Amino acid sequence: MPPGEEVLLRMIEGDESAFTSIYRHYHPALYIYVLRFCKIPDLSEDLVHDVFLKIWEIRDRIDPSLPFTGYLYRIARNHAFKTIKKLAQDEGLQEEVLEHLAASGSGLPEQVVREKEYDRLFREALGRLGPQRLNVFRLCRQEGKSYDEAAAILGISRNAVKKHMVLSMRFIHDYIYRHGDLLLACCLLLKIF
């Protein structure tokens, strides 16, 4: 189910948790879309990031009565268009494209291992979050509550919820980066935040 108009309205008003639910719903398709044109996974991942950041930045101009996918399309297309033009110009990038095209046929088992390892490390990292932070994480991330809802349930401020979320996501990534095996480390190496 795509996020309803209510979620869209909350995002337009600047609610970060609504933005996150919109991100979660649309990003897989968006990633697949830009990857089809750009072929390089890291590049496509950056594009997905850029597209959603742009959505957030222009949220004030979004008309909730129009289909949200229209906005997504316009922005994603512009980003992907620009990138594919760049690929066509840049020889270095073209070599990368060819590498990824050659590898894409055989990449599946590796992907599965990576995913399993990632899940294991993710659960380990969760176990190391403080109890309150874990509560916040469970409510927002696993039960899909908005920051406001989570704040009400836990009797803490919305700002505190937000801070817990930012810090827990960051902690989990640092943890996986530090403890992941070589394969995973390679996969994460390019993105340290």
Partner 1 sequence: MSQLNGHHEKLLQRYLDGQCSPEEVAELYAWLRTSEAHRPLLAAMQQEFEQVMQQPQQVPAALSDRVEARLMQDISRKKVRPLFSRYRVAAAAVILLAMAGGFWWLASVSRTAQQSLPAKEIAAVHKDNDVAPGTSKAMLTLADGSTVTLDSAGNQVIQQGKTLVQQSNGQLQYAAKGKGEAIGYNTLTVPRGGQFNIVLPDGSHVWLNAASTLRFPTAFTGKQRVVELQGQGYFEIKKDVARPFIVKVNTTEVQVLGTRFDIMAYDDEKSLNTTLLEGAVRMKQGLIQQQLAPGQQAVLDYNSGRMSVRAVDVDEVVAWKTGFFEFDNAAISVIMRQLSRWYDVEVSYLNNNSNRLFGGRISRNLPLSEILHMLEANGAKFNLEGRRLMVTVEN
Binding residues vs partner 1 (CB under 8 A): 9, 16, 19-20, 23-24, 27-29, 31-33, 36-37, 39, 41, 45, 48-49, 52-53, 56-58, 60-61, 63-65, 69, 73, 76-82, 84-85, 87-89, 94, 97-98, 101, 104-105, 111, 114-115, 118-119, 122, 162, 165-166, 169-170, 172-173, 176, 184, 187-188, 191, 193
CB of 154 to partner 1, least distance (A): 19
Cβ closest to partner 1, residue 93 vs residue 153: 93
DSSP character for 140?
Answer: I
d(CA 189, CA 173): 11
Amino acid identity of residue 12, one-letter, is I
Closer CB to partner 1, residue 29 or residue 152?
29
Cα gap 17→34, rounded to integer Å = 24
**Cβ 131 to partner 1 shortest distance, Å:** 21
Residue 109's H or E segment, with its range, is: helix 108-127
In the complex, what is the shortest distance from the CB of residue 2 to partner 1, in angstroms, rounded to a whole number? 10
Residue whose CB is less far from partner 1, 102 or 152: 102
Minimum gap (Å) between residue 101 Cβ and partner 1: 6
Contact 162, 15 (CB under 8 A): no
Nearer to partner 1, 104 or 132 (CB): 104
Residue 10: its H or E element: helix 5-12
Which pair of structure tokens corresponds to residue 90?
């840049």
Lookup result for tokens 């989990």: 172
Q: How far is the CB of 57 from partner 1 (least distance, A)?
A: 6
Taking the C-alpha atoms of residue 51 and residue 75, their distance in angstroms, rounded to an integer, is 6
Long-range CB contacts (within 8 A, 24+) of 156-159: 156/132
Min dist CB 191 to partner 1, Å, is 5
